[in-house]
């Protein structure tokens, strides 16, 4: 009998040691970190977090632990910043220190650290600087970005006209337009909404967003080894990234053959010029790998975000006909019925500008932002945050601040207007985040939202299919993004 007790006792002993060891590792690292709920070994605070609504769980924890606290997603400590003051102090005042990207094992495996969204250090700096400059240059060119978005707005409206004022779910059409704007910027040309290549690109990105956005991914991301036991979705992501990679490589070859360095047409042309300039630099970042993943990042970051915001805007406009009427009055007065809306109009249209901001504030698309990381050991409010620690900024706590935006749960463009009806800027508007990692496509996104929405409202009146009292406009949490509930509407030509 004693012969069988031996191994069992040994096992129990080993497990207890392991447990103690992990507790000791956790508590020794915790001494100088911000306070937080006591983590269990291995699973950390996962039991205290609702994976379907992380932002809400974090807000609840901040009521106990204050604006700066630590939670353990598994073994890994994550510092959470809650409220405008803490978020601003980190992302803006200590911008450099907080400009790292937090780990995202699934994306890291697919992107291998290339590109812009998930890269870090020198690579991130160079690719980001180049991307921003290229967007700016393309914005000023002969066929500038505004022309491209206006062209897409016309096509979008024509597509909506084909619905013949009958009830439709706008998801597909509103998904095409932002995707095509990215195509136009990257590849110089837009596609027909029925083009097979275009539909293929869209589908693959939508699939990736869906997988990356499933609640399970939060678990995967914190226990990367689990990934290897569930290869299904992971392989799909790789396949989709490979598809876009080979498409970009094919297009890049075509571009190389027709490149005129004095007349860059699009993002790929600018990248090729930069590659040529840097070809003798052995540590250069302007490589085919960085080109393909950066392009893939632009699609990933620039399509679903903008189309979801457009879809939510139309839902809110349906729910609030008094807001739609005011926007349409402003369109009539400033633009009229004949010419296409342009960006110059925006400064004369404070109500419409406020409406767009309010849609984004209310949607709160990325409630917990993308994760950041500190790039060195940082002293923050007398805590010591070690280099590499993941930082979560709870943007909900900023966008729903009840002093800055009284009645924060209410959709009210007045949140961005002063008493005279002028547009009122707010530092609390962090839908695009803030600081050095802030959305690289902010200008483009705001241009699309303004031009698409004004063009739609210039040509159509929106009609609900159900009694608007029964329209539910509460965003649904879907992994780390919030999205509008599904709905239908009619586009009635004016």
Q: Which structure tokens are listed for 60? A: 């609840």
Report the residue number, 26 or 482, with the smaller CB distance to ligand HEM. Answer: 482
377 touches 384 (CB < 8 A): yes
Of 246, 277, 272, give the one whose Cα is nearest residue 259. Answer: 272
Distance in angstroms (rounded) separating the CA atoms of residues 365 and 306:
10
Candidates 33, 237, 268, 366; binder of ligand HEM (CB under 6 A) is 366
Distance in angstroms (rounded) separating the CA atoms of residues 100 and 109:
18
Report the residue number, 292 or 369, with the smaller CB distance to ligand HEM. Answer: 369
SS3 state of residue 439: coil
Report the residue number, 240 or 433, with the smaller CB distance to ligand HEM. Answer: 433
Distance in angstroms (rounded) separating the CA atoms of residues 377 and 373:
11
Query: How many residues in the shown chain lie near ligand HEM by CB under 6 A?
Result: 25
Q: Is 439 annotated as a binding residue?
A: yes
The residue whose Cβ lies closest to ligand HEM is: 441
Q: What per-residue string of b and e applies to 318-333 under the rule 16 or more CB within 10 Å gives b?
A: bbbeebbebbbebbee
Binding mask 205-244 for ligand HEM (x = CB under 6 A): ----------------------------------------
Report the residue number, 39 or 400, with the smaller CB distance to ligand HEM. Answer: 400
Of 328, 299, 402, give the one whose Cα is nearest residue 84. Answer: 402
Candidates 51, 90, 268, 370; binder of ligand HEM (CB under 6 A) is 370
Of 404, 425, 359, 364, give the one whose Cα is nearest residue 59. Answer: 364
Please name the residue ranges forming H helices in 349-402.
350-363, 396-399
Query: Per DSSP, what are the bridge partners of residue 46?
Result: none
Establish if 482 lies at the interface with ligand HEM (CB under 6 A): no
Report the residue number, 301 or 457, with the smaller CB distance to ligand HEM. Answer: 301
Query: Per DSSP, what are the bridge partners of residue 385?
Result: 378
* CB 20 to ligand HEM: min, Å: 37
Report the residue number, 80 or 439, with the smaller CB distance to ligand HEM. Answer: 439
Footprint of ligand HEM on residues 42-101 (CB under 6 A)?
Answer: 101
Select from 186-194, 293-301, 318-326, 350-358 the region that touches ligand HEM (CB under 6 A): 293-301
* CB 167 to ligand HEM: min, Å: 26
Establish if 369 lies at the interface with ligand HEM (CB under 6 A): yes
CB atoms within 10 A of CB 210: 14
Q: How many CA atoms, within 13 angstroms, populate the side-chain half-sphere of residue 86?
A: 23
Report the residue number, 398 or 440, with the smaller CB distance to ligand HEM. Answer: 440
Of 287, 359, 481, 377, give the one whose Cα is nearest residue 33. Answer: 377
Establish if 153 lies at the interface with ligand HEM (CB under 6 A): no
Of 486, 473, 237, give the one whose Cα is nearest residue 364. Answer: 473
* CB 100 to ligand HEM: min, Å: 10
Candidates 309, 390, 394, 454; binder of ligand HEM (CB under 6 A) is 309
387 touches 375 (CB < 8 A): yes
Distance in angstroms (rounded) separating the CA atoms of residues 299 and 438:
17
Candidates 267, 298, 460, 487; binder of ligand HEM (CB under 6 A) is 298
110 touches 241 (CB < 8 A): yes
Select from 78-86, 157-165, 203-211, 297-305 the region that touches ligand HEM (CB under 6 A): 297-305
252 touches 291 (CB < 8 A): yes
Q: How far is CA 76 from CA 105, 221, 253, 380, 438, in A?
A: 13, 11, 43, 19, 25
Binding mask 109-148 for ligand HEM (x = CB under 6 A): -------xx----------x--------------------
Establish if 365 lies at the interface with ligand HEM (CB under 6 A): yes
* CB 68 to ligand HEM: min, Å: 17
Question: Pairing between strand 390-394 and 76-82?
Answer: parallel
Report the residue number, 119 or 222, with the smaller CB distance to ligand HEM. Answer: 119
Footprint of ligand HEM on residues 427-456 (CB under 6 A)?
Answer: 431-433, 437-441, 444-445
* CB 446 to ligand HEM: min, Å: 8
Phi, psi of 460 (to 5 degrees): -135, 150
The footprint of ligand HEM (CB under 6 A) covers 101, 116-117, 128, 297-298, 301-302, 305-306, 309, 365-366, 369-370, 431-433, 437-441, 444-445
Binding-site entries for heme: 439
């Amino acid at each position: 009998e004693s012969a069988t007790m031996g191994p069992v006792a040994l096992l129990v002993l080993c497990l207890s040691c392991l447990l103690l060891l992990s507790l000791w590792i956790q508590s020794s690292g915790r001494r100088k970190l911000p306070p937080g709920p006591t983590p269990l070994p291995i699973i950390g605070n996962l039991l205290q977090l609702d994976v379907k609504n992380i932002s809400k769980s974090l807000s609840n924890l901040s009521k106990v632990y204050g604006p700066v606290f630590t939670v353990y997603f598994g073994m890994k400590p994550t510092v959470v910043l809650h409220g405008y003051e803490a978020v601003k102090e980190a992302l803006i005042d200590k911008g450099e220190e907080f400009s790292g990207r937090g780990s995202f094992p699934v994306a890291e495996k697919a992107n291998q650290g290339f590109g812009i969204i998930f890269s870090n250090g020198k690579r991130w700096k160079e690719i980001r600087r180049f991307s921003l400059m290229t967007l700016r240059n393309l914005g000023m060119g002969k066929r500038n970005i505004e022309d491209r978005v206006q062209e897409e707005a016309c096509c979008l409206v024509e597509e909506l006209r084909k619905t013949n004022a009958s009830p439709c779910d706008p998801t597909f059409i509103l998904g095409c337009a932002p995707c095509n704007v990215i195509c136009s910027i990257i590849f110089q040309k837009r596609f027909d909404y029925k083009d097979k290549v275009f539909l293929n690109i869209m589908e693959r990105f939508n699939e990736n967003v869906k997988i990356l956005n499933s609640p399970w991914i939060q678990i995967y991301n914190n226990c990367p080894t689990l990934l290897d036991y569930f290869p299904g979705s992971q392989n799909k992501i790789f396949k989709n990234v490979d598809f876009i990679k080979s498409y970009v490589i094919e297009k890049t070859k075509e571009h190389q053959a027709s490149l005129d360095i004095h007349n860059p047409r699009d993002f790929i042309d600018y990248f090729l010029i930069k590659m040529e300039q840097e070809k003798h630099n052995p540590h250069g970042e302007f490589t085919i790998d960085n080109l393909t993943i950066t392009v893939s990042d632009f699609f990933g970051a620039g399509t679903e975000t903008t189309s979801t915001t457009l879809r939510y805007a139309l839902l809110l406009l349906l729910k609030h006909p008094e807001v739609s009427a005011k926007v349409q009055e402003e369109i009539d007065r400033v633009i009229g019925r004949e010419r296409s809306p342009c960006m110059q109009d925006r400064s004369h249209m404070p109500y419409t500008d406020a409406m767009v901001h309010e849609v984004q504030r209310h949607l709160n698309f990325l409630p917990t932002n993308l994760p950041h990381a500190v790039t060195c050991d940082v002293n923050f409010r007398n805590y010591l945050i070690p280099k590499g620690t993941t930082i979560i900024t709870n943007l909900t706590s900023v966008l729903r601040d009840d002093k800055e935006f009284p009645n924060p749960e209410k959709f009210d463009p007045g949140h961005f207007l002063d008493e005279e009806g002028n547009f009122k800027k707010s530092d609390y508007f962090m839908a695009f985040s803030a600081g050095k990692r802030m959305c690289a496509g902010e200008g483009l996104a705001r241009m699309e939202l303004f031009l698409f929405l004004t063009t739609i409202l210039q040509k159509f009146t929106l009609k609900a299919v159900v009694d608007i009292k029964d329209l539910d406009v509460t965003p649904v949490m879907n992994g780390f993004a919030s999205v509008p509930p599904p709905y239908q509407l009619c586009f009635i030509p004016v």
